Amino acid sequence: MLTTINEVKRKFDVEEIRNDFPILKRLVNGKPLVYLDNAATSQKPQAVIDALTQYYTFDNANIHRGLYFLSELATEQYETARLKVKELINALSASEIIFVRGTTEAINLVASSLCRAKHFKDGDEVIISNMEHHANIVPWQLMSDRKQIKMKVIPISDSGELDLEAYEKMITEKTKLVSVVHISNSLGTINPVKKIIEIAHSHDVPVLLDGAQAVPHFKVDVQDLNADFYAFSGHKVFGPTGIGVLYGKTEWLEIMPPYQGGGDMIRTVTFEKTTFDDLPRKFEAGTPNIAGGIGLGAAIDYINQFDRNELVAHENKLLDYATEKLSHVEGLRIIGTAKEKASVVSFVIEGIHPYDIGTIIDTDGIAIRTGHHCTQPLMARFNVPATARASFVFYNTKEEIDKLILGIQKVKKMFI
């Protein structure tokens, strides 16, 4: 069932919500798990786990091909999930929703298909930013065997905000795409993407947004943003791994050739010539991640129970609380202090390698990410090899942040 706008929403109660996520009850090293690595992947509510079990236990069949009961049932569930995604991000049509493996595959698809559509000439430019995940850097470099595409990089300030003036000046007649992250996974910065799109469009340049960190955090409306492409991963939005979404405006998807060839994406095949199916099937060669799609649908239903503003408000409180507490830790420096931030806090502590922080607090069951977070050029910009990063979602609590602070104090004592 698709949720309707007037539906009564479930009251936000963090303790009740935590009961929906079985993993949050487990122990790690004999201590209750404190899971603060949600930017890497989020945990799954029972409803998502049940949807996967239900599918494999009772409904498993391949889709789009069988005229028998189970195949039709699986097809219906998979296509209903597509409708749920369409509503989640307010796409104009479900045919603009391409199921892929995740954000990484979505961006690779756009790079590859735009290249093959001859959208780029040698020497053309793609504008990215200094805070991109490698998933929005490497695909453009990989195109070099087809076209010499030059990447231009929007600089960022010391607080981790994009320099919009520099961005505007960067656009030339060779600029063929702007591809930027909506929310930085390493800094937490929420970029002014509507403005970025307006500027690009005033030069007739399309925009791809990497929404991997944004869709889990707040309501994204691709029509309101006027994004040409939007990518995100199911596993960060409380759904399964191996499923993700590329949204593309019909006008773009229509002129792009398929990314991969095979079954399920053709209309007719002879040895001489193949004609392709309509959108979105043209981009979905082979048996897809059927269970993943259905599980993502269940994750969307889960989120839709709530007034998302209440979830955002809770996450923002956690962000403020963590920022305040961490800023009182001597020798600790927060990397990423933008005005508009989502619930991600990256930090370094003088004289202590982030890996040591992560490993030591893990003994108390606290999971944070340490490393370069697949943003090495960003680490270089801040002149650090790595950071420790805590990232929160709506099921996290202030008590968990207190445990993180205690853990950090413990690490510091060991190094003094």
Site residues for ligand 7TS per CB under 6 A:
39-40, 102-104, 133, 135, 181, 185, 210, 212-213, 233, 369, 373-374
Give 39 or 207: the residue with its C-beta nearer to ligand 7TS. 39
Q: How far apart are CA 99 and CA 393, in angstroms?
A: 24
User: Which residues make Cβ contacts (< 8 Å) with residue 123, sequence separation at least 6?
Assistant: 148, 150, 174
26: tokens are 């487990």
When the beta carbons of 240 and 365 are compared against ligand 7TS, the nearer one is: 240
* Shortest CB 39 distance to ligand 7TS, Å: 4
Active site includes 374? yes
In single-letter form, the type of residue at position 367 comes to A
Tokens 């409306």 locate to 221
Active-site entry in 70, 374, 384, 405: 374
Our CB check for ligand 7TS shows the closer of 181 and 265 to be: 181
| CB contact at 8 A, 132 and 375 | yes
The candidate with the shortest Cα–Cα distance to 350, out of 388, 381, 402, 319, is 388
User: From the CB of 131, what's the least distance to ligand 7TS, in Å?
Assistant: 9
Rounded to a whole number of angstroms, the minimum distance from the CB of residue 41 to ligand 7TS is 7
Alpha helices by DSSP H, 119-244: 138-142, 164-170, 193-202, 222-225
Q: Looking at beta carbons only, is 81 or 135 nearer to ligand 7TS?
A: 135
**What gap in Å lies between CA 130 and CA 125, rounded to an integer?**
15
- Return the SS3 of 154: strand
Encoding tokens for residue 368? 């944070």
CB of 102 to ligand 7TS, least distance (A): 3
Q: In this structure, what token pair is assigned to residue 223?
A: 């029509």
Which ranges constitute the DSSP H helices of 155-288? 164-170, 193-202, 222-225, 250-255
Q: At closest approach, how far in Å is the CB of 384 from ligand 7TS?
A: 16
Q: Which is nearer to ligand 7TS, 206 or 292 (CB)?
A: 292
Which residues carry out catalysis?
374
